[in-house]
A and B are shown apart, each in its own frame.
Chain A
């Protein structure tokens, strides 16, 4: 069963504009959420995370928003840069657990 869903398989955005990636989850027990970035033929690299006790976490150009009532989170990248072109995975877990449940990923293409 797919507990984490990324319904947009791809996103194209112009350089300098905002990229918004969405993620939905079904398991209300999840209390920690992570975003990973993945380049082709490489493993995922950790980008940013958020605990369920917060509704926003910001790190430089990256901001993650969490709406627990809607079981929805989003990643904002602003301004988007060509190096941001990659696949972005949303992942969720229980904070005292060890397993991550991943979405299928969203491929972001930043156009010059």
Chain B
């Protein structure tokens, strides 16, 4: 399977606990993105990396959220002291940085990690 893979697919946690999600992008892709999707809404941008550098963080990404991409390969998204409002699907995506959309580049999404905070 050469697509974007995410782990775990589902996570139920108690409020106040920490959770971590992992994303493995398509192997040659140097850009990696995290999005969040809640019920009835489209995905919302959280942050993105080019190689190991985190180049932008959305204002949706509170201080309790931290993302890393050591060595520019896989990425982790950690949520500390989870709240019920964090319940959502967390989507990872990847793309190539060297080509634009006009040249046929696109963003490929993983299957998502469902988080339920109880």
Count how many chain A residues have C-beta atoms less than 8 Å from C-beta atoms of the other chain: 27
- Chain B residues whose C-beta falls within 8 Å of the C-beta of A32 in the assembled complex: 101-102
Q: Which residue of A lies closest to B103 (CB)?
A: A95
Given A32-B102, A49-B101, A41-B42 contact (CB < 8 Å): no
Contact present for B106 and A42 (CB under 8 Å): no
Contact present for B107 and A100 (CB under 8 Å): yes
- Chain B residues whose C-beta falls within 8 Å of the C-beta of A110 in the assembled complex: none
- Which of A12-20, A65-73, A78-86, A101-109 lines the interface with chain B? A101-109
Count how many chain B residues have C-beta atoms less than 8 Å from C-beta atoms of the other chain: 27
B40 at the interface (CB under 8 A from A): yes
Task: Report the separation of the CA atoms of residues A45 and B91 in the bound assembly, to the nearest whole angstrom.
Answer: 12
Given A43-B91, A98-B48, A102-B43, A51-B101 contact (CB < 8 Å): yes
Given A51-B102, A104-B42, A105-B42, A44-B109 contact (CB < 8 Å): yes
B62 at the interface (CB under 8 A from A): no
- Chain A residues whose C-beta falls within 8 Å of the C-beta of B33 in the assembled complex: 98-99
Taking the closest CB of chain B, its distance from the CB of A18, in whole angstroms, is 24
A91 at the interface (CB under 8 A from B): yes
- Chain A residues whose C-beta falls within 8 Å of the C-beta of B93 in the assembled complex: 43
Taking the closest CB of chain A, its distance from the CB of B31, in whole angstroms, is 6
- Chain B residues whose C-beta falls within 8 Å of the C-beta of A51 in the assembled complex: 101-102
Task: Report the separation of the CA atoms of residues A27 and B102 in the bound assembly, to the nearest whole angstrom.
Answer: 19
- Chain A residues whose C-beta falls within 8 Å of the C-beta of B112 in the assembled complex: 41-43
Contact present for A104 and B102 (CB under 8 Å): no
Having A46-B109, A102-B43, one finds 12 other A-B pairs with CB under 8 Å, namely: A41-B114, A42-B112, A43-B4, A43-B112, A46-B108, A98-B31, A98-B48, A98-B56, A99-B33, A100-B107, A101-B45, A105-B40
